[in-house]
Structure 1
Amino acid sequence: MINFAAERAAYRQLADLLREQIAAGQPGPGDLLPSMLRISQEAGVGLGTVRRALRVLRDEGLIVMERGYGARVVEQEQPTVVSVPRGGRVRVRMPTEADRRELEIAPGAMTAVIVVTVGGRLRGTYRADRVELVAK
């Protein structure tokens, strides 16, 4: 449960607990999470703490929040595997507005992008949370 004496904020601890449950398949993809009131009561925290924890999971792409329905677990995509050849360069940066549109990154989401270049030519721009880089 939540350790209120810990240095880690209660909402982060709650997000960790919910993330673990989602990773274990309870609830599974497409399922609704319990109501915010129920999560609040079970965890012994306020609704504001629950809201902040759910925002963390939303920003990580684990859930979508639907007004009037609640929070639903998102089907997790397999990461795109990108081979980076010898001499290739990898740069991590925050997305531009064009990147957000093209890569479907929600406004305000703290998701970095990875830019891969080979020989000075752009090979691709990828969402950092949906790519696995493999050195050749």
Structure 2
Amino acid sequence: MVIRYGSTRAVYLQLADLLRADITSGRIPPGELLPYEGRLEQEHGVSRPTVRRALAVLRGEGLVYTERGYGTRVVQQQTRQHIKVPRAARIVCRMPTEAEREALGIELGEVVPVVTIHVGAQTRGPYRADMFDFTTA
């Protein structure tokens, strides 16, 4: 896949797509450093702000993390647990409260939504959205 500059899809999203494909296919394994920003610029013929926006997309998806002075690494993906949800349930996805962050081990600055499941007057959760898959029963 190559970046198409005439495409209706933004260039930074195309670059994020390329990097995501390399990560999910295992070409860039967990714990591995991504190429540095300058190299990504040269390889793909894009600007530094474009590279940074693409990396921000991947950070937002929880695929990579960046350490200042060290670079951007692929996150070790955790095994996701499956939760069956009754069909009549209401599922709410939101950002966690401070107490939920602490209880669920979500670091300050991490973008990890939480999910609650409401069935009648009963509430289940919150669950970290990055660790669970939800399916109907």
| TM band (smaller chain) | 0.7 to 0.9
* Counterpart position of 1:79: 80
> For the structure 1 residues 54 and 86, does the alpha-carbon distance in structure 2 shift closer, same or farther, using more than 3 Å as the test?
closer
Give the CA deviation at 1:94: 4.0
Q: 1:101 to 1:16 in 2, by over 3 A?
A: farther
Report what 2:11 is aligned to: 10
The one-letter amino acid paired with 1:8 is: R
**Alignment partner of 1:65: what SS?**
strand
Which range is displaced more, 5-14 or 84-93?
84-93
Structure 1 vs Structure 2: percent identity of aligned residues?
Answer: 48
Q: Which runs of 4+ in 1 moved over 6 A?
A: none
TM value normalised by structure 2: 0.84
Partner residue in 2 for 1:30: 31
Partner of 1:107: 109
Greater mean alpha carbon deviation, residues 75-84 or residues 95-104? 95-104
The runs of 5 or more residues in structure 2 that have no matched partner are none
The residue type equivalent to 2:49 in the other structure is G
**Taking structure 1 as the reference length, what is the TM-score of the superposition?**
0.85
Deviation at 1:28? 0.3
Alignment partners' CA distance in 2, 1:65 and 1:48: 15
CA 1:123/1:49 → structure 2, altered by over 3 Å: closer, same or farther? Answer: same
1:50 corresponds to which letter in structure 2? V
| Structure 1: runs of 5+ lacking an equivalent | none
Deviation at 1:126, TM superposition (A): 1.8
Match of 2:45 in 1: 44
Give aligned pairs, total. 135
CA drift at 1:69? 1.0
Q: What is the deviation of 1:98?
A: 3.9
Q: Which amino acid aligns with 2:6?
A: A
Deviation of 1:97 (Å): 4.2
Could you say if the C-alpha distance between residues 43 and 92 of structure 1 is closer, same or farther in structure 2, counting changes exceeding 3 Å? same
**CA-atom RMSD in angstroms:** 2.1
Tell me the SS of whatever aligns to 1:64. Answer: strand
CA apart distance, 1:21: 0.3
Q: Deviation at 1:2?
A: 1.1
Aligned to 2:64: 63
How many angstroms apart in 2 are the aligned matches of 1:49 and 1:97? Answer: 33
Aligned-partner Cα distance in 2 for 1:106–1:51: 21
